[in-house]
Amino acid sequence: MQIINSLSFSQTVSVDLGDDSYPIWVGKGLISQIGGLIGEQIDSPSKVAIIADARVAELFGDQMVKGLKPVVNSPIWITVPAGDQNKSIEWFMRVQDALIEHQLDRQSVIVAFGGGVIGDLAGFVASTYMRGIRWIQVPTTLLAQVDASVGGKTAINHSRGKNLIGSFHQPKLVLIDVETLDYLPEREVRCGLVEIIKHGVIMDESLFELIEQNLSDLLSLKTDILIEVIAKSCRNKAWVVENDEKERNLRATLNYGHTFGHAIETLTDYHQCRHGEAVAIGMNCAAQLSVNLELLHPTDLVQQNRLLQAVGLPLNLSDLSLESISPEDLLQTMYLDKKSSRGTLKLVLVQKIGQAKIHQDISNSEIMKAIEMCRKAK
């Protein structure tokens, strides 16, 4: 895995997985070059289906069609409404129906064009249609660019838990065009930064410090630092995926804050908070638990939470008026998480900024104590 300076205002990160290797392009104005970049990676597709967020299709549809001209003249558009509630079996079947109706075959390609919901849904469709066809990620939210688009995890939600139905299916190319972020609401930019901060907390102190030093420019979407931070974050995730593609052990560290966060999303039916906000609260819970168990020095907890607050993210359930969620209910929902094993929760806890470890011997009472400490602002 390496980062290579290439086109003007762009970098590439390679994900080295043998026959399933692929590049991640990070830059500005890349959508207009997508056809040429696809041509470098795969044979000419018989058909191209774009599964897109409806708003993204409206904003960037013409640019995408022009960019795809080198490989296809008339791509098929399938639009899905925004919202995590649409990452569902119902929309999975609707998209499959559309692919069958348009007679896509095994030489066809799916382009996921939107945020994490679209990437997860489109990837799962690609992994199952005709037992698996090629697909390409074009994430348009910061959160998706640094997290969901890299690593080949695909999934839809179940009413009892997030991402419980899914598969591993690596894309052939990830194209990250930072111009799409200019149209992103400020709240979504903040939610994307939480995943970059997470990478810093669990494995890269220098990335954490880079965010601290350039937070104002990142929040205002300054191109150069944005590309640098996104590429660095993708580089960290690529290294983890290369060493543990199917999440046997190491890759589970990327779930820092997510076991708590996914449970919060499930209990609020994916409506009352954004994924990034739930993860921020989850990171506070996990760090507080780390302090309680004397794994983490309290000053590191303060440092993490100070940065999360500076970004404008919640730390406690009460910050989003969710303090009615009880520790008992949250813990029970956490046991439905994919990372639980044989009735035991696997939790990612922090030892210091830049270093984390998986633990699965923590008592329910200790977990509930940490949750209680994160229900209301102190």
Kindly list the catalytic residues.
131, 153, 195, 237, 247, 251, 255, 258, 262, 275
Residue type, 215: L
CA distance 287 to 256: 9
Residues belonging to the chain: 378
Helices and strands, number each (H, E), in the chain:
14, 12
Q: Quick one: CA dihedral 29, 33, 35, 37, positive or negative?
A: negative
**Which helix (DSSP H) or strand (DSSP E) does residue 23 occupy?**
strand 22-27
Which residue in this structure is represented by tokens 């589970």? 252
**DSSP 3-state of 160:** coil
Which residue in this structure is represented by tokens 């979504």? 188
CA distance 200 to 304: 10
CA distance 375 to 322: 8
**CA angle in degrees (0–180, nearest 5) for 190-196-201:** 120
Q: CB of 125 within 8 A of CB of 96?
A: yes
CA distance 362 to 46: 52
